[in-house]
Amino acid sequence: MQKEISQYFDLILELDKNWQVSKIETDHKHNKVSIHIKYIGKGSPIYDHLKEREWRHLDIMDYQTYLVSKVPRIKNSS
């Protein structure tokens, strides 16, 4: 079931092939959902990742929704 839910959020967030929903955390007490997104792109080499960040998204069914990710930094060839 978790895989289907992750695929659903991949679709509604319109993530391209380089990004994937890796985890969904729901806090029913505070009406909050956190959607963790992971970079899975293979095109450019990754230098490292920035610290994990959280962005507010539009609410989903009266739940405060947040996107959480470590943004990758890509190695520049020059």
DSSP, residue by residue, 18-74: TEEEEEEEEETTTTEEEEEEEE---SS-EEEEPPPEEEEEEEETTEEEEEEE--EEE
CB 61 within 8 Å of CB 39: no
- The tokens describing 66, both together, are 């947040």
Which pLDDT score is estimated for 78? 62
Which pLDDT score is estimated for 24? 93
How many structural domains does the chain have? Answer: 1
Helix (H) or strand (E) holding 9: helix 2-12
Supply the range of the domain harboring residue 17: 2-74
Task: Please identify every stretch of the chain with a pLDDT value under 50, giving residue numbers as ranges.
Answer: none
